[in-house]
Amino acid sequence: MQNPGRFLAGIAALIRNASGEYLLLKRSGSRDFGADAWECVTGRVNQGESFEEALHREVLEESGLSVRVTALIGLSHFYRGDRVVENELQGVVFACVPVGDATIRHSNEHSEYLWLAADDARELLTATDPTTQWLRRTIERAETFYSGGIDGLYSDGVMID
């Protein structure tokens, strides 16, 4: 039997609605990593799956939404746990908007969700853990993008747990 290998890539979907609010999901307290932390939709790219296929699968699984990609707003360097090569993921951060039914149906991976304007998200995201600080910077970068301040793709080179 062939070894299935390990995951090498991840995605993040920063979903912004027509009112300019971002979808934030609170990870369930029972999760093995990032328990009770606020995040956007994130996930791993399965073997044989494209980044965009993973994006749509993860968004549907975690929020129940269908989305349209509006931009690539970043590249990230993710770690799940200790910062060792076995836990390392390279990631793409997509800016997205909901299409169709915008009713959130979050998975058991999350305990709650909020739609927040960028300023309100900054007020909420004050914890100093790497996950929270990564999300805060990602929203700030998206706001710069939406205001016309970013030309092209941006890499934050940040490592998150």
Q: What is the pLDDT of residues 55-74, one digit of tens each?
A: 999 999 999 999 999 988 88
For 92, the domain range is 9-145
**Residue 1 is assigned to a structural domain of this protein:** no
**Residue 154 is assigned to a structural domain of this protein:** no
Q: What is the pLDDT of residues 7-60, one digit of tens each?
A: 678 999 999 999 999 999 998 877 666 678 899 999 989 989 999 999 999 999
d(CA 127, CA 142): 20
Q: Which two tokens stand for residue 15?
A: 């979903």
pLDDT value at residue 47:
87
Spatial CB neighbours of 56, under 8 Å, sequence gap ≥ 6 = 66, 67
**Residue 97 is assigned to a structural domain of this protein:** yes
Residues paired with residue 97 on neighbouring β-strands, in sequence order:
68
CATH number for the domain spanning 84: value is 3.90.79.10
DSSP 8-state secondary structure symbol assigned to residue 141: H
Q: Which two tokens stand for residue 41?
A: 């939709």
**Residue 151 is assigned to a structural domain of this protein:** no
Give 76's pLDDT tier (boundaries 50, 70, 90): confident
**Residue 66 is assigned to a structural domain of this protein:** yes
Residues paired with residue 12 on neighbouring β-strands, in sequence order:
42, 93
What sign for the dihedral angle of Cα 56, 60, 65, 66? positive
Spatial CB neighbours of 26, under 8 Å, sequence gap ≥ 6 = 36, 37, 38, 39, 110, 111, 112, 113, 114
**Residue 152 is assigned to a structural domain of this protein:** no
**Residue 57 is assigned to a structural domain of this protein:** yes
Enter the pTM of the model. Answer: 0.85
**Residue 82 is assigned to a structural domain of this protein:** yes
Domain count for the chain: 1
Instruction: Convert 63-91 to b/e letters by CB count within 10 Å (16 or more is b).
Output: bebebeebbebbebbbbbeeeeeeebbeb
Q: Is 136 helix (H, G, I), strand (E, B) or coil?
A: helix
